[in-house]
Amino acid sequence: MSEAADLRLLVPGALDQPTGGYRFDARMLAGLRERGWKTAVDELQGDFPGPSADAAAALDAALAAAPDGQRVLVDGLAGGAFPEVLERHAQRLRLLALVHHPLGLETGLEPARSRELLALERAGLRSSRGIVTTSAYTADVLAGWGIERPRLRVVPPGVERQAAASGPGPGEPPCLLAVGALIPRKGQHHLIAALAGLTDRAWHLVLAGPADRDPVFVRRLRERIEDSDLRDRVTVTGTCDEADLDAWFDGASLFVLPSEYEGFGMVYTEAMARGLPVIATTGGAIPYTVPAAAGARLPPGDVPALRAALTDYLERPQAWLAAGAAGRRAARQMPDWPQAVVAMDRALRELTQ
């Protein structure tokens, strides 16, 4: 029998999914392995976040298979809605929670569903020896729930050192890039609404990211694009691999993602690292991630303000070069991935002493 892992990570579905949360998990796991940790991953099958019977059974089976005393880091999407399952194994295992952002704060939830998920996640976190969050903002939210500060650690994602974006080719219109899964929280519908009023100006929009997470939202988004006669000015890429995503970033003029809420917002730092000016919102942790000097931060859901910011960029692109430079300077001050892994290593050890 092989030696037990120092750390077992539980995630719903495949770890190699191209979203910020999964990329964070994968980079941390790879970095810990480089530092000598023996790790294991359970990719859980089921209807997460649930709560549902198949997901609860998958989580319970994975926890039951872990040997006594093992560190088990449960991604919030896997464990947030299953407090009873977590409680059954809390005494036997060294359970830790990884919270990217509270499940109940996802945009588009019915109020009753939001309240249900928030109550379940609060209850489940009581079973964890400690909680790792990806931003100080999320740590503050959890502290407001009554979670003791000594049980919280903040480990932000690392930032890659990137070459400056080249931008569009000669004679091509400005390329506006939005990277993120096509879901209500990312605000792509607000972006289409804002751009529908700017058809007298030259621009092209790229919506890069998975288009299979919310089929109803994506169908309505495509209908808005058609109804606004923007079909020739908007590219919906679907899931991108790293090479494709790098190419989209390199060809961009401006990064714009009007998310209604983020627990950190890795794509903003990736844009900043390339020197792209950023149009973002003040939703969740975004002001902790994107400095005001990096572009514009607008109230979530404010389409007129978004249109005004886009208009200003399209009319005065040279004036936004300083914002891109400021964002790049800020990104260079953020931890890189090796530093982030060191912080995770320290947090895991401190929380399971």
| pLDDT, tens digit (0-9, with 9 covering 90-100), for 229-241 | 999 999 999 999 8
With a cut of 70, say whether residue 338 has pLDDT above it.
yes
Q: What is the mean pLDDT of residues 2-17?
A: 89
With a cut of 60, say whether residue 142 has pLDDT above it.
yes
With a cut of 80, say whether residue 2 has pLDDT above it.
no
What's the confidence (pLDDT) of residue 297? Answer: 98
* Packed helices 188-195 and 303-315: angle between N→C axes, nearest 10 degrees: 60
Question: What three-state secondary structure class fits 176?
Answer: strand
Q: What is the mean pLDDT of residues 160-189?
A: 94
Banded model confidence at residue 61, pLDDT cuts 50, 70, 90: very high
Q: What is the mean pLDDT of residues 95-106?
A: 94
* Structural domains in the chain, sorted by start: 7-158+335-351 (3.40.50.2000), 175-333 (3.40.50.2000)
With a cut of 80, say whether residue 303 has pLDDT above it.
yes
With a cut of 50, say whether residue 331 has pLDDT above it.
yes
Which of 16-20, 92-96, 245-249, 346-350 is the least confident region?
Answer: 16-20
Half-sphere exposure (Cβ direction) of 240: Cα atoms closer than 13 Å: 21
Q: Considering the entire predicted model, what is its pTM?
A: 0.90
What's the confidence (pLDDT) of residue 169? Answer: 87
What's the confidence (pLDDT) of residue 68? Answer: 96
Q: What's the pLDDT tens digit per position in 250-278?
A: 999 999 999 999 999 999 999 999 999 99
Q: What is the mean pLDDT of residues 3-11?
A: 91
Banded model confidence at residue 158, pLDDT cuts 50, 70, 90: very high
Strands of the sheet with 130-133, listed across from one edge: 39-44, 7-12, 71-75, 94-99, 130-133, 152-154
Banded model confidence at residue 1, pLDDT cuts 50, 70, 90: very low
Q: What's the pLDDT tens digit per position in 32-41?
A: 999 999 999 9
With a cut of 90, say whether residue 108 has pLDDT above it.
no
Banded model confidence at residue 3, pLDDT cuts 50, 70, 90: low
Q: What is the mean pLDDT of residues 57-66?
A: 97
With a cut of 80, say whether residue 75 has pLDDT above it.
yes
Q: What is the mean pLDDT of residues 131-159?
A: 96
CB burial readout 142-171, b (16+ within 10 A) else e: beeeebeeebbbbbbbbbeebeebebeeee
Q: How far apart are CA 25 and CA 9, in angstroms?
A: 9
Q: How far apart are CA 26 and CA 244, in angstroms?
A: 19
With a cut of 50, say whether residue 345 has pLDDT above it.
yes
User: What is the CA 164 to chain-centroid distance, rounded?
Assistant: 23
Q: What is the mean pLDDT of residues 49-54?
A: 92
Q: What is the mean pLDDT of residues 41-45?
A: 97
Q: What is the mean pLDDT of residues 92-111?
A: 93
